[in-house]
Chain A
Amino acid sequence: MLLLLHPLALIGLATVPLLVLVYVLRNRFRPRTVSSLMLWRLPVEPRSVGARREKLRLPWLFWLELLALVLLVLAAAGPEAGIRQGGRPWIVVLDDSVSMRARSDHGTARERAVALLEAQLRERKPSLVRFILAGVTPRVLEGTGAGLRDVRSRLEGWSCVAPAADLERAIGLAAEWACNRADVVVLTDHAPPEGMEPGEGVVWHAVGQRRVNAGFVGAARTAAGDRDRCFIEILNGAAGAHRTELIIRLGQEVWDRKSLALAPGERHRLVFELPAGAPILTAELGPDALDEDNLLWLAPPPRRKVNVAVALTNQEWVPLIERTLKATGLSQTTTNTPDLVIFQGEPRPWPARTWTLRWVEPGQPALFTGPFLLNRAHPLAQGLSLEGTLWAGPTSAADAGGVPVVLAGNTPLLTESVSPEGTRHLELFYEPAHSTLHESPDWPVLFWNLLNWRAEWLPGLREPNVRVGAEVVVRHEGAGVRVRGPAGWERTMETAADPVVFEPPRSGLYEVTSGARTEWLAVNLLADGETDLSACTEGTWGAWRSEAAAEVHSPWPTWLGLAACAALLAHLYLVTAERRSVG
């Protein structure tokens, strides 16, 4: 079916009769003198039978000009052929969030969406189908086939495990690919958000249903001294009241069981403590529409201690340092290779992974009352104020090396340098006899920051409890990392890069092994938007692209324009050849 996007351009065809007229007039009056008309009259005679209509005979140039004219007019009219409404390609945006797994009497939302899609495919028969998974970030499923078998095969990659669906980004990507040619089909479980009106070319199908559902939407387990502090938050995501049962297990044993009666949208929070060293906590809610948010795991938080060695030449301050280290709760003394050495005197060689804090007492100290300049982005400066602090430091900056962390004017008081192996070496210019820093709250803060920073660089998981979609950081000191997760998921990372970062694909318990160390990683859904099914609905918004709006970027005008150019070039060649022959 031929479609003209700009039919008014056909007015240009009115120039065709003008061209014919010009040629007729020009041909009629091209003068030429001959010796006699005697022989020329012979071909057109006899005239005795009456008037005879002369056939209009025109040269090649005329036909070339006519061809170029018609091609240009057609190019301006924007013809489009070959793509019917049903034959237009589709770009299907699939909601890849967990809420599409919500079950009702008619199966899950995903199953209803697949059935709807297949019905639409049978009805409209698109020329090709491309899928975009709308998760936290849009992803593309390979393949463009429009056959039902091909589509079903590719839809197996639609797993609906993402903690959220960024449909707007996915639709934006689809619209960019569509180039006003394809229809964008959205399959999700809720209506378009406020302020978003699917226009022509975007068809929004919602296949969700409001079902009873409650789930875990928040959880944490942190070390608090010799106990673990736990926090659990439960949301009733149903439109009505919901009663369910909460079972908390420690290992295989039931630690607590309680019945919950939740109002619509109510959040129930639990805070409790566990003894340090308690096994993995498992929480479970009663069955409802969505199973994925009914399970929760909380792994024990890591209690890493930093091996600190103190080697001060001025024994007067050793008790101060030891008290400070003890107050942080993050240090332990060891006879093995220390993680951190606090020393005085000239720098010495230390083991490759040992951090150092060199305490320099200036002989002729200068007293600084502030203001102090702090590198607020540095881990050591977190929480430091230094207000009202007297700091006896060096008289000049000549002795200092490394990057300043704390400055008084242009005099560095605390500096940091990094060795090629990545270990940190700090220099503290401080004379306690004339200073008040060690008597202020900033002193333990400074050392807590130091030990905490060092502890973060110790091997192991940085955070054992994360949400789905979050990145997990593991330090392994070159030993490599092996991760085993639910449903046989496994990944081995033998790399020199330290730390390694990976993203668990779904919620569940993961075993992280690095060298001889094995830790548990708990990955939980904890997504309010997925647990809350109160906004789920069914319906269709938007419209299929109409014929007239299709193919704004059709290639036909380009090809027609090129053909017109070719005709004009041929015309130019003929004119030039004719002039050359006449000359």
Chain B
Amino acid sequence: MGAQINGMRRETMTLKSAIRDALCAGERQGAAYRLEWPPQGPSGAMGARLGRRTGTSIDFQDYREYQPGDDLRFVDWAVYARTDRMAVRLFREEVTPHLDLIVDGSRSMDLEGTVKGPATAFLAGLLAAAAARSQCTRAVWVSGEGYRRVRNDALPPSAWDGPVFDSTHTPEQACDWLPPQLRRMSMRVFLSDLLWPGDPARLVRRWMAGGAGLVVIQVLTREELDPPPCGGVRLTDSETGESLDMHVDESVVRLYRTALARWQQTWADACRSCAALMTTVVAEEVIEGRHGLDRAGLLVPG
């Protein structure tokens, strides 16, 4: 797959075809992975997968003392005969886990001249395919003027009609206007470059509320991680259109790296405070097939 993606010439790819190709590539690679759930196990509506709580499956989980109102069918009479105490057998519940994939749809996620957009689409396709192999339902949300589901997101990623990265608003603003309808106890994965000014803790808390877990994946290009000293430039914000004239030399690059590290640490602290997980991937490496989500513990082969 990576070779196929590498085979695509960046210059000749149009945005849409590049995104679709990346979704297909991610779908193909995701077929080799399963989602790794949080330690407490998956949650969700009744289904065919064992949940983290007691339920009505045939898998024994524990005993507890009988209480009035308990179904007498679950009283373990053998225990009562041996101990003269009424004990009820508990079984694990069977659930249908759900993945809410939240994608930052702002323009910065598909910066001109970079592979950031295809890399994000590749990750989305990869996670969706891995979720399907884990018997997990999913919903894909893209930010814009509020959050909207990607059309056909229940179908394989190659059939999705998106995501489209054309928003000039931040994910936080979109969440204020129209938040995504995240399923309760669902697993949430947030794909974004996290490059907007705001309060990371507020957004992390919102994504984490009512969910089983949250993984924040930061997608950055190599230049964003380590910009070269390119001399005098007029920097233009891809979303706001603001410009900034400056001379980028080694000292400025050092300041930039410091600021980026500080910002990433802020996000990491916010995630840690909410028991969420955060990882950073390099767009160019993702396109080359080295996504690193298995090392982060989000995917497992098989």
Which residues of A does B touch, CB under 8 Å?
Answer: 24, 26-44, 54, 57-59
Among B196, B230, B234, the one with the most A-chain Cβ atoms within 10 Å of its Cβ is B234
- In the assembled complex, which residues on chain A have CB atoms less than 8 Å from the CB atom of B249? 57
A sample of 9 cross-chain residue pairs with beta-carbon separation below 8 angstroms, ordered by A number, consists of A29-B234, A31-B234, A33-B235, A36-B239, A38-B263, A39-B256, A43-B259, A57-B247, A59-B231
Contact at B197–A27, with CB atoms within 8 Å? no
Q: How far is the CB of B186 from chain A (nearest CB, A)?
A: 28
Contact at A27–B231, with CB atoms within 8 Å? yes
* CB-CB nearest in chain A for B238: A33
* CB-CB nearest in chain A for B108: A35
Contact at A33–B112, with CB atoms within 8 Å? yes
B86 within 8 A of partner (CB) = no
Chain B 64-105, CB-CB to A under 8 Å as 1, else 0, gives 000000000000000000000000000000000000000000
Which residues of B does A touch, CB under 8 Å?
Answer: 108, 111-113, 116, 193, 195-197, 224, 230-240, 242, 244-247, 249, 252, 255-256, 259-260, 263
Contact at B246–A40, with CB atoms within 8 Å? yes
In the bound complex, how far is the Cα of B193 from the Cα of A29, in angstroms? 27
18 extra interchain contacts, Cβ-Cβ under 8 A, other than A34-B111, A35-B195? A31-B234, A32-B230, A33-B236, A34-B238, A35-B108, A35-B111, A35-B116, A35-B237, A35-B238, A36-B196, A37-B240, A39-B256, A39-B259, A42-B256, A43-B256, A44-B246, A57-B232, A57-B249
* CB-CB nearest in chain B for A29: B234
* CB-CB nearest in chain A for B241: A33
- In the assembled complex, which residues on chain A have CB atoms less than 8 Å from the CB atom of B224? 34-35
Contact at B231–A40, with CB atoms within 8 Å? no
- In the assembled complex, which residues on chain B have CB atoms less than 8 Å from the CB atom of A41? 244
Once A35-B238, A37-B237, A43-B255 are accepted as A-B contacts, the answer to whether A30 and B263 lie under 8 Å apart by CB is no
In the bound complex, how far is the Cα of B236 from the Cα of A101, in angstroms? 93
- In the assembled complex, which residues on chain A have CB atoms less than 8 Å from the CB atom of B234? 28-32
* CB-CB nearest in chain A for B107: A35
- In the assembled complex, which residues on chain A have CB atoms less than 8 Å from the CB atom of B244? 37, 40-41
B contacts with A: majority SS? mixed
Once A28-B245, A32-B234 are accepted as A-B contacts, the answer to whether A42 and B108 lie under 8 Å apart by CB is no
Contact at B195–A31, with CB atoms within 8 Å? no
- In the assembled complex, which residues on chain B have CB atoms less than 8 Å from the CB atom of A33? 111-113, 235-238
In the bound complex, how far is the Cα of B244 from the Cα of A54, in angstroms? 13
- In the assembled complex, which residues on chain B have CB atoms less than 8 Å from the CB atom of A58? 231
* CB-CB nearest in chain B for A42: B259
In the bound complex, how far is the Cα of B19 from the Cα of A446, in angstroms? 121
In the bound complex, how far is the Cα of B247 from the Cα of A57, in angstroms? 7
* CB-CB nearest in chain A for B110: A35
Q: A27, A31, A42, A57: which contacts B236 (Cβ < 8 A)? A: A31
- In the assembled complex, which residues on chain B have CB atoms less than 8 Å from the CB atom of A57? 231-232, 247, 249
- In the assembled complex, which residues on chain B have CB atoms less than 8 Å from the CB atom of A37? 235, 237, 240, 242, 244
- In the assembled complex, which residues on chain A have CB atoms less than 8 Å from the CB atom of B236? 31-34
Among A30, A32, A36, A42, the one with the most B-chain Cβ atoms within 10 Å of its Cβ is A36
Q: How far is the CB of B265 from chain A (nearest CB, A)?
A: 13
Q: How far is the CB of A424 from chain B (nearest CB, A)?
A: 94
- In the assembled complex, which residues on chain A have CB atoms less than 8 Å from the CB atom of B242? 37
Contact at A38–B196, with CB atoms within 8 Å? yes
Contact at B197–A38, with CB atoms within 8 Å? yes
* CB-based closest 10 A-B pairs: A27-B232, A43-B255, A35-B108, A42-B259, A36-B195, A57-B247, A39-B259, A32-B233, A37-B237, A35-B195
In the bound complex, how far is the Cα of B114 from the Cα of A32, in angstroms? 12
Q: How far is the CB of B229 from chain A (nearest CB, A)?
A: 9
- In the assembled complex, which residues on chain A have CB atoms less than 8 Å from the CB atom of B240? 37
In the bound complex, how far is the Cα of B293 from the Cα of A148, in angstroms? 91
- In the assembled complex, which residues on chain A have CB atoms less than 8 Å from the CB atom of B239? 35-36
- In the assembled complex, which residues on chain B have CB atoms less than 8 Å from the CB atom of A26? 232
In the bound complex, how far is the Cα of B183 from the Cα of A265, in angstroms? 138
In the bound complex, how far is the Cα of B112 from the Cα of A39, in angstroms? 19
In the bound complex, how far is the Cα of B234 from the Cα of A26, in angstroms? 10
* CB-CB nearest in chain B for A28: B245
* CB-CB nearest in chain B for A30: B233
In the bound complex, how far is the Cα of B246 from the Cα of A34, in angstroms? 13
Contact at B235–A27, with CB atoms within 8 Å? no
In the bound complex, how far is the Cα of B252 from the Cα of A44, in angstroms? 9
- In the assembled complex, which residues on chain A have CB atoms less than 8 Å from the CB atom of B112? 33
* CB-CB nearest in chain B for A27: B232
In the bound complex, how far is the Cα of B251 from the Cα of A43, in angstroms? 9
Contact at A40–B238, with CB atoms within 8 Å? no
Q: How far is the CB of A361 from chain B (nearest CB, A)?
A: 110
Once A35-B193, A39-B260 are accepted as A-B contacts, the answer to whether A54 and B238 lie under 8 Å apart by CB is no
Contact at A36–B232, with CB atoms within 8 Å? no
Contact at A27–B247, with CB atoms within 8 Å? yes
In the bound complex, how far is the Cα of B46 from the Cα of A274, in angstroms? 162
In the bound complex, how far is the Cα of B235 from the Cα of A44, in angstroms? 13
Once A43-B252, A43-B256 are accepted as A-B contacts, the answer to whether A36 and B245 lie under 8 Å apart by CB is no
Q: How far is the CB of B53 from chain A (nearest CB, A)?
A: 42
In the bound complex, how far is the Cα of B52 from the Cα of A308, in angstroms? 154
* CB-CB nearest in chain B for A25: B232
In the bound complex, how far is the Cα of B240 from the Cα of A29, in angstroms? 18
- In the assembled complex, which residues on chain A have CB atoms less than 8 Å from the CB atom of B108? 35-36
In the bound complex, how far is the Cα of B260 from the Cα of A431, in angstroms? 129
* CB-CB nearest in chain B for A26: B232
In the bound complex, how far is the Cα of B252 from the Cα of A24, in angstroms? 18
* CB-CB nearest in chain A for B197: A38
Q: How far is the CB of B280 from chain A (nearest CB, A)?
A: 14
In the bound complex, how far is the Cα of B252 from the Cα of A386, in angstroms? 111
In the bound complex, how far is the Cα of B242 from the Cα of A307, in angstroms? 123
- In the assembled complex, which residues on chain A have CB atoms less than 8 Å from the CB atom of B260? 39
In the bound complex, how far is the Cα of B235 from the Cα of A32, in angstroms? 5
- In the assembled complex, which residues on chain A have CB atoms less than 8 Å from the CB atom of B247? 27, 54, 57
In the bound complex, how far is the Cα of B192 from the Cα of A296, in angstroms? 120
Q: How far is the CB of A365 from chain B (nearest CB, A)?
A: 109
In the bound complex, how far is the Cα of B242 from the Cα of A37, in angstroms? 8
Contact at A40–B232, with CB atoms within 8 Å? no
- In the assembled complex, which residues on chain A have CB atoms less than 8 Å from the CB atom of B193? 35-36
- In the assembled complex, which residues on chain B have CB atoms less than 8 Å from the CB atom of A42? 255-256, 259
In the bound complex, how far is the Cα of B233 from the Cα of A27, in angstroms? 6
Once A30-B232, A43-B259, A57-B247 are accepted as A-B contacts, the answer to whether A36 and B237 lie under 8 Å apart by CB is yes
In the bound complex, how far is the Cα of B233 from the Cα of A57, in angstroms? 12
- In the assembled complex, which residues on chain A have CB atoms less than 8 Å from the CB atom of B230? 30, 32
* CB-CB nearest in chain B for A34: B235
* CB-CB nearest in chain B for A62: B231
* CB-CB nearest in chain B for A24: B232
- In the assembled complex, which residues on chain B have CB atoms less than 8 Å from the CB atom of A59? 231
* CB-CB nearest in chain A for B257: A39
In the bound complex, how far is the Cα of B246 from the Cα of A213, in angstroms? 93
- In the assembled complex, which residues on chain A have CB atoms less than 8 Å from the CB atom of B238? 33-36
- In the assembled complex, which residues on chain B have CB atoms less than 8 Å from the CB atom of A28? 232, 234, 245
* CB-CB nearest in chain B for A32: B233
Q: How far is the CB of B251 from chain A (nearest CB, A)?
A: 8
Q: How far is the CB of B149 from chain A (nearest CB, A)?
A: 25
- In the assembled complex, which residues on chain A have CB atoms less than 8 Å from the CB atom of B116? 35
Contact at A39–B233, with CB atoms within 8 Å? no
Q: How far is the CB of A127 from chain B (nearest CB, A)?
A: 49
Q: A31, A35, A44: which contacts B233 (Cβ < 8 A)? A: A31
* CB-CB nearest in chain A for B255: A43
- In the assembled complex, which residues on chain A have CB atoms less than 8 Å from the CB atom of B195? 35-36, 38-39
In the bound complex, how far is the Cα of B230 from the Cα of A31, in angstroms? 11
- In the assembled complex, which residues on chain B have CB atoms less than 8 Å from the CB atom of A31? 233-234, 236
- In the assembled complex, which residues on chain B have CB atoms less than 8 Å from the CB atom of A27? 231-233, 247
Among A42, A43, A59, the one with the most B-chain Cβ atoms within 10 Å of its Cβ is A43
In the bound complex, how far is the Cα of B234 from the Cα of A27, in angstroms? 8
Q: How far is the CB of B203 from chain A (nearest CB, A)?
A: 15
